[in-house]
Every structure is written in structure tokens, then in C-alpha cells.
Amino acid sequence: MLASCVADQRLPCAVVEAGSSAGVVASLAFGTSRDAIFDLASLTKVLATGLVTLRLIDEGRLNLDRRAADVLATWRGDDRATITVRDLLTHSSGLPAWLPLYDLHQGAEAMIAASAAAALIGPPRRAAVYSDLGFIVLGRLLEIAGDDTLPALTARTLGPLSADPPIFGVRDGDRARVVPTGVDGWRERDLHGEVHDRNAAAMGGVAGHAGLFGHAGALGEIAQVLLRACRGQATPLGPAGLVRAFTRRSAVPGSSRALAWDTARPQSSSGPSLTRRAFGHTGFTGTSMWIDPELDVYVVLLTNRVAASTSSDEMTRIRRRVHGAIGAAWGGSHDGG
């Protein structure tokens, strides 16, 4: 199916890896190499911001009920005084999903201040609205709590999990492996190793919601660690119970969101074969990872649908077919043990 998508130019290329807590079972590439580097887009929310939050909580430097107003000087207003780290992680802060802040602001400080001051679209904790702005704010909050930059905190968190973990930006020596994301009209050039997200670009390529680049093998290694933690094994991430807590659906009404992660629903990109215990995330550029502790399986799918102008709805259908096929085959050949 993925070969067909590449052949008919719905996708310029694709890499898929599936495995378990014990390691890789299959890794396939279409139109590129298996070690190709992709703009991971919103997978940054879970792999950087989410896991760094988990690490800082384990170290006692942060807690989920810490109010943003107690950390950020730019966080002002009675309507947002009670918003916490938990609310930002579960997309229930009331901040809007997205604003074209890059049109008016340049630089991390200006962008974070604008995100923190954005008018709420609803009261906190009433509903989940997937929010890039909330994670922009959360990225700075982590830097203050962790007393370091977000790239440094991410490297410290992901370094023990993968031999070649995702990073913000691209090393010069790795540029030949990077899959371009196409021409951006705002920047008037082909993006090759530059973050696709314009708000993240206005922040210099480092943000809590986007900016990571990485390859499927590295994401697979991280997924294996997460599976082992969910199965109660000791990992460098911290206590297994804390890891599992991040993957449980929140109490926000009508929401599928956990702490940074999303959870499986019948209509989501996880498809029909993964169980209700599955958690994962997608990225706007065409990336995704889903992890199912009950089946002991993970699926990493990296594509670049924005370069082919494939719609997000079509990408969801492709993801569902991939996860459905792998999950169905897996269920018949593995016992999850």
C-alpha cells in the first residue's frame, strides 16, 4: 500500500518500522532510505516537551499542578491564573489551537509572550482544544524549571533512550539524509533541514510544539523503552508508574488526550486493530507513532505528505490502513507476552 502511495505520488517517500519491547521486527523504506531524516513536526510535543516534563517531574523540579503564572512572568490575567502544567499537557488550558503569530513577531521571546497573552477561547479544563500555543508556552516553562535550554533538556532526556536521538534542527553532516518538505511561500524557498512550521521557524527552529528532526530507527528505540516502562520494567525514563500515568486519558470531558500523548479512538489514526490502551501522536508533515502496551507493538510511520500536497484527511486514511494492517497481522502472530 505504501509503495502504491509513493508510485502514484500521493507521498514522495515513506519509512515504516514496527516492533515490540524486545526490538525491531520490520523496517521498510519506499522512495528513500531507512535512515532518512524527517521533520517530525508535532511529534516534538511528545518526544521533546512531554518526555522532558516527565523527566523534570521525576527529578522533583516540576509537578503537574504547578501554575504557569508561578513560573512565567509573561503569563498574566485572571482568566488564566489557575492554568497548570497538567492543563497545558492535556490541551485543556483554553488557549486557541493556532494563530499566525509569525506574521507579527520574530524571535523566541516575542513568540512566547504572544502565545502567553493570546485570548482564551474557553475556560480552563472545560474541553480539550489541541493547541500549539499551549506547547510553545510549556516549552519555555520547562526551560525555567530545568534551568537549561529546551534542546539541551531534550538531549539529556532522549540521549539514554536512543543511539541517535531526534534533535532540534539538523547537523551539517546529516543534511544529505534529510527529506525536503517542499517550497514554503512565506520563506520563498525550498525547505531542506528547516522546520516546516512557521511559528517554530519564527522562534529560530526551537519550540515546544515543533522543531525536532529524526529518523524512524531512533523513534523505534524510544518506543521500545516506552513499551518496557508500560510493562513495568525499569528504564532510563523514570518510574514505570509515572510513564504509564502520562499515557492515561485525562478526565477532561470528551477528550482523548493524555499527558502530551493522544489515546486510541475508533475514528483516530491509530486504526481499527490497535487496542484502547494504545497511545501515540501525529505530525503535520505526515509523521506518526503509535504504541500499544496490550499488544506489545509500536508502529513508526514517517512520510512527507506536505511536499506532495496530500491532505490531512487522506494522510489519516493512510495511517489507519497501515496501523490496521500491522495490528491485525500482529494480533495473529504475537501474544503480547
Residue 298: the pLDDT is 98
* R_g (Cα) of the chain, nearest Å: 19
Residue 333: the pLDDT is 55
User: Which of the two residues, 203 and 335, has the higher pLDDT score?
Assistant: 203
CB atoms within 10 A of CB 86: 18
Helices (H), the chain: 2-7, 43-44, 51-58, 85-89, 108-117, 132-146, 150-158, 198-202, 216-230, 240-246, 312-333
pLDDT band at 271 (very low <50, low <70, confident <90, very high): very high
Please tell me the number of Cα atoms within 13 Å of 336 on its side-chain side. 14
Residue 335: the pLDDT is 43
Closest CA to 160 of 242, 260, 238, 245: 238
Convert the pLDDT of each residue in 148-168 to its tens digit. 999 999 999 999 999 999 999
Which phi-psi region, left, alpha or beta, contains residue 296 (left: φ > 0; alpha: ψ -120 to 50)?
Answer: left
Q: Quick one: average pLDDT of 213-217?
A: 98
Domains of the chain: 2-333 (3.40.710.10)
DSSP label of 321: H
Residue 332: the pLDDT is 53
The answer, yes or no, to whether residue 337 has pLDDT greater than 50, is: no
Question: What is the spatial distance between Cα 43 and Cα 247, in angstroms, rounded to a whole number?
Answer: 15
Which phi-psi region, left, alpha or beta, contains residue 41 (left: φ > 0; alpha: ψ -120 to 50)?
Answer: left
Question: What is the spatial distance between Cα 293 and Cα 331, in angstroms, rounded to a whole number?
Answer: 13
What pairing do the DSSP bridges indicate for beta strands 279-283 and 262-263?
antiparallel
Convert the pLDDT of each residue in 274-299 to its tens digit. 999 999 999 999 999 999 999 999 99
132-146 helix and 150-158 helix, angle to the nearest 10 degrees: 80
Residue 241: the pLDDT is 97
Residue 25: the pLDDT is 97
Convert the pLDDT of each residue in 70-106 to its tens digit. 999 999 999 999 999 999 999 999 999 999 999 999 9
Which phi-psi region, left, alpha or beta, contains residue 287 (left: φ > 0; alpha: ψ -120 to 50)?
Answer: beta
Q: Quick one: average pLDDT of 106-134?
A: 98
AA identity, residue 209: H
